[in-house]
Amino acid sequence: MTVNNKAVGIIGVGSYLPEKIVTNADLEKVVETSDEWIFERTGIKERRVADGDTATSDIAAKAAEMALADAGITAEEIDLIIVATVTPDMSFPSVACLVQDRLKAKNAAAFDLSAACSGFTYGMVVASSFIKSGVYKKVLVIGAETLSKIIDWEDRNTCILFGDGAGAAVLGQVEDGYGILGVELGADGSGGDLLKVPAGGSRQPTSIETCNNKLHFIHMNGNEVFKFAVKVMGEAAVKALDDAGLDPESIDCLIPHQANIRIIQSAAKRLKVPMDKVVVNVDKYGNTSAASIPIALAETVKSGRVKKGDIVVLVGFGAGLTWASCVLKWCKGD
């Protein structure tokens, strides 16, 4: 990343989860599976599901309100809103514009960013660049998904994995020596077919045929995505640490994308980070895509597990295929 004298970090976090809980036992009634089968392979026990009247912008705004309150600022002080999502309310306008209106953030520019499960960390790097360049002072980054809307609940290979939720962070200038120290972003578009929603875009516009063939749901080659994730999670974190001039031994808190407990454990092993330094909530929420990392971050901060001066590493992978990692020296606290 480009180095200059302006330190940029997170000054507020927030998260929101829908109230409805769908357990593995609930899924046993819908598809041929079992609590034991799901938990052994994924580490997931339950997930949250938004109701039929709730869209991504609704939960994104609620997480944003929490982040603004934590930062101690008003919506009018936000210069830019970035929403990372693959489940927008509609093709356009963007979720970010809908959130801007709901928050009454009248001074903010707004756009969505699509990098799937890597999206929030991508958004943080974009936000940091805007602030470092002097274009903006405070940027709201949100990761929000209602994946339950694009799941085939008859497909046991995907319906067991995903959940709904939103997480948010406010970025701004912080004390020198703190904030974002190193980043790593990457993509391999040759793997795009491994995880996708085939229809609904210009390649396969919505039709009776695409609906009947369930082409508006998530399609995933689980084995290949797993192999990719195991390889890239550790590599991305190491590259971000190198960018920061640090080594894995410096990590105080590792916050990985919550996709699968075996992938998380593999990344921790690669980095030689003990599991007591790794944040895990996949058992409670499943894979919430772009919301995964900010939800975990907000919960970790709220619990007091992260203290000022701690080295925090965010790392994830997603459809695209994409990957992203960010190293921060935590700037809040005593």
Tell me the catalytic residues: 117, 257, 287
Rg (CA), the chain: 19
Query: How far apart, in Å, are the Cα atoms of 79 and each of 7, 82, 291?
Result: 17, 10, 21
Measure CA of the first residue to CA of the last residue in the chain; give whole Å: 28
d(CA 63, CA 57): 10
**Which residue in the block uniquely carries the two structure tokens 């935590």?**
330
Contact 143, 296 (CB under 8 A): no
Sheet holding 253-256, edge to edge: 179-187, 322-329, 311-318, 253-256
φ, ψ at 17 (rounded to 5°) = -125, 135
The residue count for the chain: 334
